[in-house]
Structure 1
Amino acid sequence: MNYHIAVIEDDPNIQNIVSAFLKKEGYHVSIMDSAEKGLKLWKSNPPDMWIVDIMLPGMDGYEFCKVIRNESDVPIIIVSAKDEEIDKILGLELGGDDYLTKPFSPRELMARVKRVFKRYRPEGKEQIKNNEQVVVEQLVIDKSDRLVFWAEEEQDVTTKEFDMLLLFAENVNRAFSREELLVRIWGDDYFGSDRAVDDLVKRLRKKIKDLPLETVWGFGYRLRDKED
C-alpha cells in the first residue's frame, strides 16, 4: 500500500532530505512548515502517519500531537533537537509513537517509520473470516471489518479503542493490569506512563456510556459480562 506520510518541519534542508528518503521508499509525502498547515491537511486529506518537529513557529509540535491524538490514533513520530528525558516522556505521553532526536540519520528514521507501520498494520497474519463477531451483552465487535456496535448502533472508535475493546471482549470478566494493557495495546517498546491506559478507558466510557467496563481498584480494568 502506498501510505501517505505528512511531515511538519520548518527547516528546508531537513524537509528535502526526509522527503527524498520517504519517496525513495515509495511513500506519498506532504511537506508543511507549520502545525497550522498540518491541521488543514488533517481536515482535508488525513495522512496515514505524521512526522512532526517540536520547535515550530506558532503552534508547537506538542500541542499539535495533543490535538491529533484527541481525534485519532494515527501514528505520530516526533523529531526534535530537545534530547532531555523529560522532553521525550512528554512527547510520548501526548501521543507520540516514537521520538527521534536531531541530528538523526535518515535511514534510522525510515527504519522507525517501517516499525511503527508494522505495529499498526501487521502483515502476514492469517485473514479472519468475514463477519466473525465477538458479542458481550449489547456490545458486538466485527473483527474482520473492525467495526463496533453498541445496542445495534455503530460506534466511532479509534484504532487503539478498537484494540482495547476486542482484548476485553475476547477475555470477558478477566482483569488486566495497567502494565499488561500497555504491552498488549501499545507494544512492549512503548516508553511512557500507564496514564495512557486510563485516558483510553475514559474515552471508551465517554463514547459508550453503559459499557460494563469496570475498574479493578489498585490493579486495572475488566469487561464484565453480567449474564455470565
Structure 2
Amino acid sequence: MQYHIGVVEDDENIQNIVNAYLKKEGFIVSILGSAEEGFEMWEKQPPDMWILDIMLPGMDGYDFCKKIRQESDVPIIIISAKDDEIDKILGLELGGDDYLTKPFSPRELIARVKRLFKRSRTMNEMNESSQEKVRVDQLLIYKSDRRIFWKGAEHEVTTKEFDMLLLFAENVNRAFSREELLIQVWGEDYFGSDRAVDDLVKRIRKKLDGIQLETVWGFGYRFRSEEE
C-alpha cells in the first residue's frame, strides 16, 4: 500500500526537504501552505497522515489539529519552532500523535512517520480480528469500533482518552504509575511531562461523570470496581 501524506507547512525550504525525503521513501506527498488549504484537501482527498506546522498564516496548527481529530483518528505529526514543554503537551493533547521541534533531522522525521504507520496498521489488524467488547460496571467499550458508552449513553472521546479507558477497563483495580501510563498511552519515546497524564484523567472524569478513576497518591491512578 502506498500511503498519502499531507504536509501543512508555509516554509518553502522545509517543504522542499520534507517533500524530497518522503517521496524518496515511496510516499505520495501533498504540500499545503496553510490550514485552509489543508481543509480543502481533507474534504476531497483525505491523506493517511498529516505532518503539521503550528505557526501558520491564518488558522494555526493547533486549531487545525483539533478539528481534524474531531473527525478522524488519522495520525498527526506536529512540527514547530516552539520548544516549550507546554506547547508540546498542548499539541499532543489536542490530538497530535508525535511532536518534532525545528530544526529537525529529516531522517528522524521519516523514522517517526514509519513508526506511526506501523502502529496504525497494528491497531487496524487488531480491530479487524476482534469484535470484542469490554464492560466494567456502567462502562461499555466496543474495541473494534472504538466507541465508549457510560451509563447507557455514548460519549465522544479522543484517541488517547479511548486508549487510557481501555487500558484501565482491561486491568480493573490495578494501580498504574504515571510513567506506566505515559508509555502505554503515549508510547515509549514520549518526552513530555507526566502532567499530560493528570490532564487526561481530569478530562475523562469530566466527560464520564462518576467514573471510578481513583488517584493513588504519590504514584498514579486505578479504575476501581467492586465487581472484580
TM range (shorter): 0.7 to 0.9
Structure 2, unpaired ranges of 5+: none
| Alignment CA distance shift 1:100-1:73 (3 Å) | farther
Out of 71, 77, 89, the residue aligned to residue 85 of structure 2 is: 89
Contact 2:51–2:77 (Cα < 8 Å) also in 1 = yes
Question: Which residue in 2 is equivalent to 1:184?
Answer: 184
Q: How far is 1:137 from its partner?
A: 0.8
Match of 2:189, SS? coil
Match in the other structure for 2:208: 208
Rate the CA distance shift 1:69–1:164 in 2: closer, same or farther, 3 A. farther
Distance 1:174 1:183 in 2: 16
Percent identity over paired residues: 63
Aligned alpha-carbon RMSD (Å): 3.3
Alpha-carbon deviation of 1:169? 0.8
Q: Is the 8 A contact 1:93 1:196 kept in 2?
A: yes
Indicate if the aligned counterparts of 2:134 and 2:140 stay in contact, CA closer than 8 A.
Answer: yes
Q: What's the CA shift string for 1:25-84, capped at 9, x where partnerless?
A: 4434332212344456567765443212344334444x44774587476533233456xx
Secondary structure of 2:227's counterpart equals coil
2: distance between equivalents of 1:20 and 1:66?
A: 24
TM-score, reference length from structure 1: 0.77
> Taking structure 1 as reference, are residues 159 and 126 closer, same or farther at Cα in structure 2, changes over 3 Å only?
closer
How far off is 1:8 after superposition? 1.4
TM-score, normalising length from structure 2? 0.77
The 5 A counterparts of 1:1-228 are 1-38=1-38, 47-61=47-61, 63-64=62-63, 67-68=66-67, 71=70, 74-81=74-81, 87=83, 89-94=85-90, 95=92, 96=96, 97-102=98-103, 104-105=105-106, 107-122=107-122, 129-228=129-228
Structure 1 residues 158 and 54: CA distance shift in structure 2, 3 A: closer
AA in 2 matched with 1:102: P
Q: Which of 68-77 and 140-149 deviates more?
A: 68-77
Partner Cα separation in structure 2 for residue 143 and residue 180 of structure 1: 21
Aligned AA (1:27): F
The residue matched to 1:122 in structure 2 has which SS? helix
Q: CA deviation at 1:166?
A: 1.3
Which moves more between the two structures, 50-59 or 66-75? Answer: 66-75
Higher helix share: 2
Q: State the one-letter code of the partner of 1:184.
A: Q
Letter of the aligned partner of 2:135 in structure 1? V
Q: Per the alignment, do residues 74 and 196 of structure 1 end up closer, same or farther by CA in structure 2, a change over 3 Å counting?
A: farther
Task: Quickly say closer, same or farther: Cα 1:59–1:90, change in 2 above 3 A.
Answer: farther
